[in-house]
Structure 1
Amino acid sequence: MSAPTDPLAVLESLAVPDAPAVREAAPGPESEWPGVADPDVLRAQLLDWLSQYANPGTRRTYAYALGLPVEWVDPPREPDPTRPRPPAAAPGPLHDLAWLRWCARHRLDPRTATTGHVKGWLHALDAAGARRRTRQRMLSTVAALYGHLVEVGAVAANPAALNRARLGLSTGARDASPTIRLTAEHLRALLDAAAGLDHGRGAHAEFYRHRAVALVALLTLGLRISEVVGLDRADLYRTGGEDVLRVLGKGGLHREVYLTDPVRRTLAAYLAERDRLAGDAVPATRGRAPGPGSPMIATRAGGRCSRADLYSLLRRIATAAGPALDGVADRVHPHALRHAYVTIALEQGAPIQHVQADVGHASIATTQHYDRARRTRASTAADLVAGVLTPPSPETAEPPTPS
């Protein structure tokens, strides 16, 4: 059954333990989405809001946070019979507490929700063990949705416009980040493990090896995993005599990320191997990749890898790193490498505004506005981070001090 004609299917696996008769209700609009008399209209309003975000990663994140399937904004890829996908992960403890699922369980049309409903939902999240940061993020998503619904006249007021300080959810009240702290030694170990990852003896083993190294290398530039997934080959080009990546970040804003020499060599080797397997006699020129939207990090068949694919690959790499990542391998994820970029850069003395511009933090929008036009190779922290990750060559190493 299709989502447009059966909106309840959109909230797949909807748990309604306190209303077992919902699925057996008589046919009709309300039985398709509990509490909603015009489900097709609600679905169109939700899609209208999501479509305003240029970044597909943002659309997927918002859809997931509200309890909608990502297929709404990210159609599933054609299955590859030669590469079966791993089973889907089990729903987390907050799965049924996403806002739209919570509303459906209470037979509540989201457009009639009040501040009392939103507070009740937040209390349910708290009781389920949701961290403060998680509740802050989920409330922000709901508030953004209702801000749009107010603008288009679908609701009269924003029920999620609450006093966050009274709820203990003010933006200044932040818990310590749960992200694992990765050091330069950890990142070097990940790069080494990626280069040595066992892919068997098949014809594509070298491609997989180069792709694994390229993934880690890109993450050491401080990119978000959604940004890595969204990169096209045409996003790699030269400007001002330097190799850069044109990265689409949050808010649909592009920024230029300078490549270090190690990352440039890694990408060149990966793309050359990829072109060799594709049968191209000459590797495609940077910025002139064949076909529109050719992804930078691709499947063996040339399709775009998903975030889940790359996350799984990174975990395999972390596990293969052995003793070098003892105690942290099971907590390695893409954001941990982004976090490491920022901390290592600051430890090496990089100006904070340069680091913030490198990683595209929205909280320095004003600084970026003034700094973006005059950014040069000297105003990126990438080389400082690369200098720590790359061991000195015998020619540049300092001679030992005589005893």
Structure 2
Amino acid sequence: MPDSGPLAVLEALPRVPAVVAREIDPADGWPGVDDPEGLRAQIADWLSQYANAGTRRTYAYALGLPVAWTDALTGADPALTGTPPSRRPPPARPGPLHHLAWFRWCAGRGLDPRAATGSEVKAWLHALDATGAEKRTRQRMLSTLSAFYGHLTETGVVPANPAALNRARLGLSRSVRDASPTIRLTAEQLGALLGAAARLPNRTRHRELYARRAVAVVGLLTLGLRVSELVGLDRDDLVVTGGEPVLRVLGKGGVRREVYLTELAAVALRAYLEERDRTAGTSTPAVRGRTAAARTPLIATRDGGRCSRFDVNALLRRVALTAGPALADVAEKVHPHALRHAYVTIALEQDARIQHVQADVGHASIATTQYYDRGRRTRGTTAADLVAAAITGTQPD
């Protein structure tokens, strides 16, 4: 890494009261940490346990680490590092909780994260609550922190996990009675999103490319993919097995699953890739095994770089805002996870077997691995066609 400052790890903190955070000059080192290189190595050791780059980025971002630093730290994606800085998507704009990411919060107090106690973790959680962080946000951030300290405990860096707190007392215990904040999209609304994506306003000469990409993104999200899974897909992950087009998706925990393409998604993806190759002047896709085709993103930026989850989120929001009356009341709340949520609810409404739905979306609660077995996974054991038929108003094959 070219930058030797440990808080090349952290972006400069926003100008907020000193009790919360303060500006940091990377050359000054990591506030409160005597051996920043050691901490960096311990963070790298923890993150490198996760095979999925999306998981590593999500965990690092939640704790306040820049995504680019995380990629370089854990063995960056060649497709990403090979992209000139000018072509990479800009970092996400800091939100209201930016300065309360755990490492920034500790840095603002000159606290070595390895010296933190349960009292500091509780103070941090209360600060999140006071800033307006939702319960699910606090649950997720605490879970990430607990995973980090669990690793430090296992490796003998800290004597105990300070994030292993009584969640019930903190009001953070999980309950099936908790209402999901995710909006519930109907099949008709997903159809409206697809129509709006095809008509997405764009005055550049690449209007057709952008419109087809938007349709492909919405189409793929109707398969129940996580946004991190979508942006992590390469063209090499699109294969034909058993005579059916399939996406080999790397999900949470490094578990791969096969996601069957519906006709809806397959047509949209094919149209996008054809237009993308035509625009790029590529008449024949690169041959697998002979070129760098395996690292070519399935969904790409105009210059061929890998889209970020923020790119997809922004694109979907633009599509929703132009979708007309069908989404007028919920357009501002549409995000990738809402489409994943819709996949599950629509599939169950169509009487799909719940085991098939769980296998389709890769839920961790699957009791057995039989649905990941390629011998058992067939066209008849996916709910994808039922969902596509509901969206298009047709009968499944």
Q: Give the alignment's TM-score, normalised by structure 2.
A: 0.88
Residues 176-185 or 10-19, more deviating? 10-19
2:50 matched to which residue of 1?
53
Give the SS at the match of 1:362.
coil
Query: C-alpha separation between the residues in 1 aligned to 2:57 and 2:21?
Result: 31
Q: Which moved more, 1:326-335 or 1:69-78?
A: 69-78
* 2:96 counterpart residue number: 93
Deviations 1:20-58 (A, max 9, x none): 997699x99xx5222111112111211221122111111
Match of 1:385 among 371, 384, 387: 387
CA deviations 1:202-257 (Å, max 9, x no partner) are 1x222222111101000000001111101111111111121110001111111000
Map 1:9-20 to 2 at 5 A.
Answer: 10-13=10-13, 17-18=17-18
Aligned equivalents of 1:65 and 1:108: distance in 2? 18
Per-residue deviation at 1:286? Answer: 8.9
Return the alpha-carbon distance in structure 2 between the equivalents of residues 105 and 331 of structure 1.
33
Which residue of structure 2 aligns with residue 5 of structure 1?
Answer: 5
Residues 1:146 and 2:149 aligned together: yes
Residue 111 to residue 6, structure 1, CA distance change in 2 (3 Å): closer
Name whichever of 72-81 and 114-123 sits farther off: 72-81
Q: Mean Cα displacement is larger for which, 142-151 or 262-271?
A: 262-271
How many equivalent pairs are there? 385
- Contact 2:89–2:307 (CA under 8 A) maintained in structure 1: no
Q: Which moved more, 1:188-197 or 1:44-53?
A: 44-53
The aligned counterpart of 1:304 is 306
Q: Write out per-residue CA displacement over residues 68-127 of structure 1, whole angstroms, 9 at most, x where no aligned residue.
A: 11122236752457xx967x6542222222111221222211111111221222222222
Give the corresponding residue for 2:76.
none
**Contact 1:237–1:287 under 8 Å retained in 2:** no
1:112 partner letter? A
1:78 aligns to 2:75 (yes or no)? no
- Residue among 151, 159, 162 paired with 1:156: 159
**Match for residue 109 of structure 2 among 106, 111, 125:** 106
CA contact (8 A) 1:22 1:34 kept: no
- The answer on whether the counterparts of 1:7 and 1:32 sit within 8 Å (CA) in structure 2 is yes
- Mapped pair 1:38 → 2:35: yes
1:184 alignment counterpart: 187
Write the distance in 2 (CA, Å) between the matches of 1:11 and 1:60.
15
Determine the C-alpha separation between the residues in 2 that align with 1:272 and 1:124: 50
Q: Is the 8 A contact 1:10 1:68 kept in 2?
A: yes
2:170 alignment partner in structure 1:
167
Structure showing greater Rg: 1
Is the 1:214–1:267 contact (alpha carbons within 8 Å) kept by the matching residues of 2? Answer: yes
Could you tell me how far apart the structure 1 residues matched to 2:69 and 2:42 are?
13
Q: Runs of 5+ in structure 2 lacking a partner? A: 73-79
User: For the residues of structure 1 that align with 2:360 and 2:258, how far apart are their CA atoms?
Assistant: 8
Residue number in structure 1 paired with 2:266: 264
Alpha-carbon distance between aligned partners in 2 of 1:56 and 1:323, rounded to the nearest angstrom: 38
Secondary structure of the structure 2 residue equivalent to 1:244: strand
- Is the 1:3–1:9 Cα contact (8 Å) retained in structure 2? no
What is aligned with 1:65?
62
Give the counterpart letter for 1:52 in structure 2. Q
Q: Return the alpha-carbon distance in structure 2 between the equivalents of residues 15 and 317 of structure 1.
A: 34
Alpha-carbon distance change, 284 to 36 in structure 1, aligned in 2, over 3 angstroms? closer
Q: Is the 8 A contact 1:67 1:101 kept in 2?
A: yes
Distance 1:200 1:22 in 2: 43
Larger RCO (CA under 8 A, 6+ residues apart): 2
Partner of 1:124: 127
Counterparts in 2 of 1:46 and 1:16: CA distance versus 1, 3 Å: farther
What CA distance in whole angstroms lies between the structure 1 residues aligned with 2:20 and 2:329? 44
The answer to whether the 8 A contact 1:246-1:255 is kept is yes
Q: Is the CA contact (8 Å cut-off) linking 2:198 and 2:215 kept in structure 1?
A: yes
Is 1:214–1:270's contact at 8 Å kept on the other side of the alignment? yes
Aligned equivalents of 1:22, 1:219: Cα separation in 2:
39
**Alpha-carbon spacing, 1:220–1:5, altered in 2? closer, same or farther (3 Å):** same
AA aligned to 1:69 is P
Provide TM-score, normalisation by structure 1.
0.87
List gaps (5 residues or longer) in structure 1. 397-403
Would the alpha carbon gap of residues 143 and 20 (structure 1) be closer, same or farther in structure 2, given more than 3 Å must change? Answer: closer
- How far residue 2 of structure 1 moved from its aligned partner, in angstroms, is 5.8
